[in-house]
Structure 1
Amino acid sequence: MRTRVLSLVLALGAALGAALTVLGAGPAQAAGYRYWSFWQSGGGKWTYATEGPATARPSDGSVNGFRFSVSEDSGDSAQPRTAPDFEAICGRTPPKDDTKRIALVIDSGTQADAPEGETPPASRSACAQVGKDATSAEALASVAKPLRYNSEALLCAISGYPESGCGEQVATKPKPKAKPSESAASASAASKSGSDHKGGPSVGLIAGLAAVAVLGTAAVWQSRRRRG
């Protein structure tokens, strides 16, 4: 009998340790990619391009944008921070026969997205006047050399930035922590309800219940031992 009760105590203790380990573990960091995203204008807004700059053939009066950032996917990708305004960029460039004018916005991003040891160049705009059949990549090359591509034709660098790397995977930055007052309020609410912010039992509540169960079982075992 004593052996059976002792086994139960040990099992409950192990369950408590496992619960604290699982609940105390932090969320895994999401993976993102550091790269130049390609954007096109539409209705005065930026739209993520559905094809690469090497195949896109914009018409005269188009605006193309390039933004360097760390993004998890196209829906999470940062847009160029300059509005797609053709007149503001190309308004002073007169049209010529057999050419087209493409307004380009080149946004090198922020220091937080830069590779270690590098500083992003200042963002800039330029008006590319190229042949009527030119691609977006050719328009970009006319105003922002040198460009660098990898073996899969992925655009890796504009005007030499960044110096190395191409679409490498990096850990995305964690979301900002709640303010101290917000954290205190959340902790107070969780304490009163006996649950965490996701609606499940809190670590403290589970630990308390498991500890009570372990101590209660131990007390029963001790009482029976004395009687015996």
Structure 2
Amino acid sequence: ISHVFNFDLPYDPEAYVHRIGRTGRAGKTGIAITLLTPGEQGRLRRIEGYTRQKITPATLPTEADIQASRDAGLRERMLIWLRRGRYSREQAMVQALVEEGHDLAEIAAAALKLARAEEKQRPIEPLSEVRSDAFAPAGKRERRPRHPVDPAPKPVPSRSNAREKGMVRLSISAGKAHGVRPNDIVGSIAYHANIPGRVIGAIRIKENHTLVDVPEEFVAQVLAKTGQ
């Protein structure tokens, strides 16, 4: 694949490397784009330290930039067909319209309007300005846990079992103090254990740990795969 988009930075740098590595197989190159929130800067620094590479910030395109790109793409597709010359039926239609008294430039404009009709399904939404001051200062360090983090899920004591029938509650030694979010938990377990993210149940993120409910049938698989 040519592009990988990260909507949520994984907590584990190795998972990030594995994910973006899908763009560089068989000697090909690719682009990885990450959408970053101010609270994820700590994860970004960990990934940069792990990969020993600086991730370069990019400037969001303006509405005019996006429209110009669409215009350029449409123009290029037109030039391709002009070089091919295989449009005899369409040329006959144009000739008929000219004979009816329509202006040639107006015919071409109407044809272009039809050609880009699909763009209505992809409207350009207003883009808010990215404020650099919304990000924490470079010298500010992300809050660290008091104890070493072992993110591998573990069964919790029976008194804390999941209330939902057929679910087992697991504990992960990473919580709010580590910047963990529900999407991180679902994505990590689903990816590493190879189970559908939709089957994962309730998630309770505490200060230094997280409780997550997993269907009983997948518990052994989750414990075996995510602990590797």
Q: TM-score, normalised to structure 1's length? A: 0.24
Higher relative contact order (CA 8 A, sep 6+): 1
Greater strand percent: which structure?
A: 1
> Looking at CA atoms only, which structure, 1 or 2, has the larger radius of gyration?
1
